[in-house]
Chains A and B, each alone.
Chain A
């Protein structure tokens, strides 16, 4: 979010979208494909490492009276464990590691993006859509493996008259296909909008001189809100994964 601190360009030429720019840190080309290690990849690695450290250090102690780190790790764990239990049921236990990994990755992607000069990889549709598409394909495979062809009864609500099938089935199929779209667009839009807003307000604070204290005050509030949004969107992303998983396992 770099916010007001980032004064590049100077004199009203602040570009609120500059923060989303991806640049290669290490250029790698395999054949025709550009697989460079970018700032986006760097922050993904950092997110993975940070979440690994928090969990491993928190669980490592394992004492009865928890250390601070242990409280953090246990809270994160139990949040997701409860979510999976409430939304998927006992059959979902098997998929807990998958859901938990997703939650940690998105949560730390969002939270680390709040550090000035950092990069929020969840503010790119390519990243969120890749995650959503992976979830979508995985869950569809899980559903087909568990139920075989019976899985496709998901596309016809039980109890509807047979005559409505020609309309209902296409609608249900489109609705099912729209899941990865809505899942990815929601996360991407929330992060992108929040960070752009912060930057725009930050540039106001710079340009308005002494009166800039007003947007600066607003910025404090919005920053707090942004932290909330970061955690909440990670939560929503995971809870929707759980709901889709529930549909695939229990077929309504």
Chain B
């Protein structure tokens, strides 16, 4: 008797949770997804900026250090700068591709959730 009631209440709760989730997915899907969140946008910006600087910095540091050791200034610095710039571009492209993939995955997940109903 008590079990029956509990079962019914659980089912009812399940239904309510599902409908709320569907509504939520609809709303977030409609708002364009990913926009309007300043902290997240800033995080993406900082991430790409740092990615750009880090590659260049490592390249230049390796060049400078190798120059100092081998006494070939400034050639290895120039080489390191160029390769570092290349690495920066590679980093940025990789990051952008990964962010794109994540966004596509999130959008797909939202659509899946909405169509489950």
Contact = CB atoms under 8 A, between A and B. Distances in A.
Interface of A: 86, 167, 170-172, 174-175, 177-179, 181-182, 185-186, 189-190, 225, 228-229, 232-233, 236, 243
Interface centre among B50, B53, B86, B98 (most CB of A within 10 A): B50
A185 B49 CA distance: 11
Contacts of A172: 87, 90
Contacts of A171: 83, 86-87, 90
A182 B39 contact: no
A181 B38 contact: no
B46 A186 contact: yes
A232 B59 CA distance: 29
A233 B46 CA distance: 10
Interface in B40-77: 40, 42-43, 46-47, 50-51, 53-55, 57-59, 62
B87 A236 contact: no
Interface of B: 38-40, 42-43, 46-47, 50-51, 53-55, 57-59, 62, 83-84, 86-88, 90-91, 94, 98, 105
Nearest to B43: A232
Contacts of B42: 229
A51 B66 CA distance: 44
A135 to B, nearest CB: 15
A174 B84 contact: yes
B58 A229 contact: no
Contacts of B59: 174
A182 B54 contact: yes
B27 to A, nearest CB: 20
B59 to A, nearest CB: 5
Given A182-B53, A185-B53, 12 more contacts: A167-B86, A170-B83, A171-B87, A172-B87, A174-B83, A175-B90, A177-B58, A181-B58, A182-B91, A186-B46, A233-B43, A243-B98
Contacts of A174: 55, 58-59, 62, 83-84, 86-87
B86 A189 contact: no
B50 A189 contact: yes
Q: Is the interface of A mostly helix, strand, loop or mixed?
A: helix
A243 to B, nearest CB: 7
Nearest to B47: A186
Contacts of A181: 54, 57-58
Q: 9 shortest A-B CB distances, which residue pairs? A: A182-B54, A174-B87, A228-B39, A175-B87, A178-B54, A181-B54, A171-B86, A178-B58, A178-B55
A190 B40 CA distance: 12
B109 to A, nearest CB: 10
Contacts of A185: 50, 53-54
Contact of A225 (B38, B62, B83): B38
29 contacts: A167-B86, A171-B87, A174-B58, A174-B84, A175-B90, A177-B62, A178-B54, A178-B55, A178-B57, A178-B58, A178-B88, A178-B91, A181-B54, A181-B57, A181-B58, A182-B51, A182-B54, A185-B50, A185-B53, A186-B46, A186-B50, A189-B46, A190-B43, A190-B46, A228-B39, A229-B42, A229-B43, A232-B40, A236-B47
Contact of A232 (B39, B54, B90, B91): B39
A171 B89 CA distance: 10
Contacts of A186: 46-47, 50
Contacts of B53: 182, 185
